[in-house]
Amino acid sequence: MKTTISLSAPADVLTESLVAVVLDHAEPVQNGQPQKDKKPLLKVATADAAVQSVTADLLASGELTGKPFETNLLHKPAGLKAKRLLLISGGPARKFSAYELRRIAGTAVRTLKSRGIRSFGFVAPPLKLELDPPSPVGLVSEIATRAIVEGAHVGNFDPDYYRSDRKDQKIDELTVVTGGDQVALEKAAAEAQIIGESQNFTRDLVNEPSNRMTPTILADRARKMCADVGLKCEVYGADKIKELKMGAFWSVAQGSDEPPALIVMTYEPAGAPAKPVLGLVGKGITFDTGGISIKPADGMEKMKYDMAGGATMIGAMRAIALLKPNVKVIGIVCATENMPSGHAQKPGDVQIAMSGKSIEIINTDAEGRLVLADGLYYARQLGCTHLVDAATLTGAVVVALGYSNAGVFANDDAMYERFHAANVKEGEKMWRMPLDDEYKEQIRSSIADIMNTGGRWGGAITAAMFLKEFAEETPWIHLDIAGTAWMEEQKPWIAKGPSGIALRSLVEFVKSFAQ
């Protein structure tokens, strides 16, 4: 999607459709009393007189509810050079921020492209920014531009690759209509485009069925991406995994006929300091049957998405290489299938991880933590001083947080606060979960050092406690994205299917070390 910046008045922008946000300015409380039957007070979020004039009657009619994502398309709007004017409700003005704006931009794309429209202009609205000191107008415009461009890219993705009657519906060109410094705005838009394209690159990897996204193919896609953006990429097979004594990783891989892949991507800009070195480690289970502890048939087809954590790290490395922060980053993806076969590990087996820790296998479907255990330890061996892993790790995190928030675990408060600031800025919902020492009792083994599952209760936490054994004292964050890496239903701003969650936060987190 080509993105341009226009400093023209919205009425003067010649485009297939102009998009403007409508906000509800009604106050829920007046004179200290809640307003139960309050009517919406709708205003278009632009000072442009022509846009205000052409929308005045509709907004005053009482026909609109003002609920978020409500759309109205006006043809041949008087006083505007645009052929159409799409109004999208952003909800209450008092709450409207970059988070809502991203979703409105995605809604605009999905609404317009379904009508065969290929280009549009988006009028950047004012934002509510809780910053101290207050942000200058120029910075607010840049933040709005980033949100619009990122949200538009998310909305432009559709997963129906293999339908023979697939319609080629996509937006080819976006114009952000705003005010401010042209150079700064273009820089913001270019960076946002890199993020948006990288998020969709991640979604593309996750969307592929497992027969078209084996560990070997995933490694090939990572290798090609690295060559395109100037990253160093090394891919190792079974022999190297055994040579490194990655017994936890190999214990999962041994059950499949598909060879595993240890993918190592390195970004090291000239002049980067020796420390920190950031390690991004992703779970790359390209299909998860559960192994001998086989999953139920219902819904198993979705298990192609079990490599979403690895795909996120590959996409993040792409964005990092293009944005060029001055910090060294190593991305590691442990890719394999988890299959039942005569070669597969069995419940009760004991495996020796790369770190030397012994692991009693209680459930072969708790395989993601096994590959990550060796991935985290290997990242430390490569010199990483700070670690982040991402994985579709547990169903338990979905029970705890549903489909709205990813689970965040951290062994270091300062690192968590840095990451939290990044995901708030990038509009990704995540919630910190506990890592109290008491939970470690649930994974103690009577035959080995630890077990690979701690039972039903607190399952997301005991999985994180397992990983903590391999991060040890290295500052570390674990992202359990099992409930958020896949959109279970179509939303106005995003298609059903892979979401690309965590990529934006990870990239912002990495950038924070270089500032």
Percent helix, strand, coil in the chain, to 5, is: 40, 20, 40
Q: Over 60: is that where the pLDDT of 130 sits?
A: no
CA–CA distance, 73 with 19 (Å, rounded to integer): 9
Q: What's the pLDDT at 167?
A: 81
Is residue 392 a contact partner of residue 283, using CB atoms and an 8 Å limit?
yes
Calculate the CA 458 to chain-centre distance. 24
The fold adopted by the segment(s) 216-514 is Aminopeptidase (3.40.630)
Residue located via tokens 């490569």: 382
Q: Does domain 2-181 have CATH number 3.20.20.70?
A: no
Digit-coded pLDDT (tens) for 435-445? 999 999 999 99
479 by DSSP, 3-state: which? strand
Digit-coded pLDDT (tens) for 328-384? 999 999 999 999 999 999 999 999 999 999 999 999 999 999 999 999 999 999 999
- Residue 222, both tokens: 């990572």
Residue type, 430: M
- Residue 58, both tokens: 């509709």
Q: Over 90: is that where the pLDDT of 170 sits?
A: yes
Determine if residue 180 is left, alpha or beta; phi over 0 gives left, psi from -120 to 50 gives alpha, anything else beta: left
Nearest to 268 by CA among 316, 222, 221, 320: 320
Residue located via tokens 């829920």: 28
Q: What's the pLDDT at 31?
A: 64
Task: State yes or no: cis peptide before 340, omega within 30 of 0.
Answer: no
CA–CA distance, 274 with 268 (Å, rounded to integer): 10
Is residue 149 a contact partner of residue 189, using CB atoms and an 8 Å limit?
yes
Q: Over 50: is that where the pLDDT of 131 sits?
A: no
Give all strands of the β-sheet with 261-267 in edge-to-edge order: 232-236, 261-267, 328-338, 277-288, 386-391, 476-480, 406-410, 430-432
Q: What's the pLDDT at 129?
A: 57
CA–CA distance, 513 with 327 (Å, rounded to integer): 7
CA–CA distance, 433 with 456 (Å, rounded to integer): 16
Phi, psi of 354 (to 5 degrees): -60, -30
Is residue 294 a contact partner of residue 340, using CB atoms and an 8 Å limit?
yes
DSSP state of 93: G
Q: Where are the domains of the chain?
A: 2-181, 216-514
Q: What's the pLDDT at 38?
A: 77
CA–CA distance, 254 with 241 (Å, rounded to integer): 11
For 185, how many CA atoms within 13 A lie in the half-sphere containing its CB? Answer: 21
Q: What number is the average pLDDT over the span 32-49?
A: 86
Q: In the predicted model, what is the mean pLDDT of the chain?
A: 95
Q: What's the pLDDT at 133?
A: 45
Q: Over 70: is that where the pLDDT of 135 sits?
A: no
CA–CA distance, 128 with 330 (Å, rounded to integer): 36
Is residue 258 a contact partner of residue 336, using CB atoms and an 8 Å limit?
yes
What is the set of active-site residues? Answer: 295, 369
Phi, psi of 81 (to 5 degrees): -80, -20
